[in-house]
Amino acid sequence: MKRFDYVRPANIADAIEAGSAPGAAYLGAGTNLIDLMKGDVVRPDRIVDITRLPQLDAIEALPDGDFRVGALVRNADLAYHPDFAAKFPLVAEALLSGASAQLRNAATIGGNLLQRTRCRYFYDPASACNKRESGAGCDAIEGENRTHAILGWSKECTATHPSDLCVALAALDAVVEVEGASGRRDVPLVDLHRLPGDTPDRETDLAPGDLIVAIRLPAQSAGFARHARYLKIRERTSYAFAMVSAGAALEIENGAIRRARIALGAVAAKPWRAVAAEAALEGATPDTAAFERAADIALSDARASGDNAFKIDLARRVIVRALLRAAAGTPNRMPALPGSAFAPTAGELDHV
């Protein structure tokens, strides 16, 4: 690990000033940043420890019904917050399907949003990687790429974004509050991460020094609370990143779908919201045929980027199954294995 200066600013203004300097990086819990620094993948000159900043650790219901979650709230504390989890069970299930209990106890919401890809060539400084070093080439193209992107990728980079939380937030129209040198602004979560194009090293719409201060869930999205499920396919039961995941949320009225929300994880460099598929579900009867049609629409632009054509079929099935689960209803109690495939497809209410 490269040596760095350590600063612990007392307020947001000082943090942004320190974080705007070239070579500076904000430190949340460090569960991604320190890992990357140990591997010499990321080599900051200065660590700006934001964990003591005041007023960034609250979960609040705002007067208009929106929920606001400070960037320093720990992943576990959000997932287990009774009022929040009752209104946004999709977010709770996505969070609890990720990492381990220890990591969720430490990891912050802001850090989860900005965690980096798990592409193994990105993690290995001896490999060529356009994301790590612009113009260096991409060893994944000819390498181990079965976990890589099927949507929105480019020849320059086929990496995926690994966050589970972001999938749920994308589905539920979450907004990210960002503060930078020029003040505060709102960024819709679906616009936070970029597709690679020919600049895979530019991963987000944030400028140097931009600090995530909070996320907001709109009151409207609580309307999905009764029919919202996260499904995550992994190569082992728990403590593994997604191969493909989906968040599905429905509002059902008189036996017909009034509104639908679908987002996919681990298929692209950003959480992938499937807007056209959602539109196709409006007014439809919530059944397998409708869900299969929606899944086809969601994947219509998908292309294999390597040995991963199977992920297209997998994603299709994951969407259908997540929608079936959502239609069956949000369980009253968090399943023993959140987001897991190990549950019956029908009668989802009493699964696991």
Partner 1 sequence: MPLPLHLKINGASHEIDLDDPRVTLLDLLRERLYLTGTKKGCDRGQCGACTVLVDGRRINSCLALAVSMDGAEVTTIEGVADGDALHPVQQAFIEHDGFQCGFCTPGQIMSAIGLISEARAEGDAERVRELMSGNLCRCGAYAGITAAVLEAEQRITQAEKEKAA
Ligand X SMILES: Cc1cc2nc3c(=O)[nH]c(=O)nc-3n(C[C@H](O)[C@H](O)[C@H](O)COP(=O)(O)OP(=O)(O)OC[C@H]3O[C@@H](n4cnc5c(N)ncnc54)[C@H](O)[C@@H]3O)c2cc1C
Minimum CB separation of residue 336 from ligand X in Å reads 17
Q: Which is nearer to partner 1, 211 or 302 (CB)?
A: 211
Helix boundaries (H) for 42-173:
75-79, 82-87, 89-96, 101-106, 109-113, 165-171
Told to check if 114 binds ligand X by CB under 6 A, we report yes
Told to check if 140 binds ligand SF4 by CB under 6 A, we report yes
Binding partner of 114, given ligand X, partner 1, ligand SF4, none, CB within 5-8 angstroms per partner class: ligand X
Told to check if 31 binds partner 1 by CB under 8 A, we report yes
* CB within 8 Å of 101: residues ≥ 6 apart: 76
Measured from the Cβ of residue 136, the count of other Cβ atoms closer than 10 Å reads: 13
The answer to whether 228 touches 330, Cβ cutoff 8 Å, is: yes
Candidates 99, 150, 263, 267: give the one binding ligand X (CB under 6 A).
Answer: 99
* CB within 8 Å of 280: residues ≥ 6 apart: 290, 293, 294, 297
Q: How far is CA 66 from CA 61, 93, 97, 174, in A?
A: 6, 19, 24, 10
Candidates 70, 76, 91, 115: give the one binding ligand X (CB under 6 A).
Answer: 115
Residue 99 backbone class (left: φ over 0; alpha: ψ -120 to 50; beta: rest): left
Minimum CB separation of residue 336 from partner 1 in Å reads 4
Told to check if 51 binds partner 1 by CB under 8 A, we report yes
Told to check if 25 binds ligand X by CB under 6 A, we report yes
Instruction: Give the bridge partners for 322, in sequence order.
Output: none
Told to check if 121 binds ligand SF4 by CB under 6 A, we report yes
CA dist., res. 19 & res. 33, Å (int): 15
For residue 266, the SS3 value is: coil
Q: Which is nearer to ligand X, 103 or 312 (CB)?
A: 103
Among 18-26, 123-131, 240-248, 273-281, the segment contacting ligand SF4 (CB under 6 A): 123-131
Told to check if 102 binds partner 1 by CB under 8 A, we report yes
Strand order in the sheet with 24-27: 5-7, 46-49, 24-27
Terminal-residue alpha carbon distance, the chain: 43
Stated length of the chain: 352
Q: Which is nearer to ligand SF4, 117 or 340 (CB)?
A: 117
Told to check if 106 binds partner 1 by CB under 8 A, we report yes
Told to check if 134 binds partner 1 by CB under 8 A, we report no
Minimum CB separation of residue 110 from partner 1 in Å reads 15
Q: What is the dihedral of CA 27, 31, 36, 38, to 10 degrees?
A: 100
Binding partner of 117, given ligand SF4, partner 1, ligand X, none, CB within 5-8 angstroms per partner class: ligand SF4
The answer to whether 49 touches 194, Cβ cutoff 8 Å, is: no
* Dihedral sign (CA 248, 274, 202, 180): negative
Candidates 200, 265, 271, 339: give the one binding ligand SF4 (CB under 6 A).
Answer: 200
Q: Which is nearer to ligand SF4, 130 or 204 (CB)?
A: 130
> Interaction with ligand SF4 in 155-194: which residues (CB under 6 A)?
157-159
> Interaction with ligand X in 139-198: which residues (CB under 6 A)?
162-165
Q: For ligand X, what does the binding mask look like between residues 59 and 98, x meaning CB under 6 A?
A: ------------x--------------------------x
Measured from the Cβ of residue 225, the count of other Cβ atoms closer than 10 Å reads: 16
Told to check if 57 binds partner 1 by CB under 8 A, we report no
User: Could you list the residues that contact ligand SF4 (CB under 6 A)?
Assistant: 117, 119, 121-122, 129-131, 138-140, 157-159, 200
User: Could you list the residues that contact ligand X (CB under 6 A)?
Assistant: 25-33, 35, 50, 71, 98-99, 103, 107-108, 110-112, 114-115, 162-165, 211-212, 241
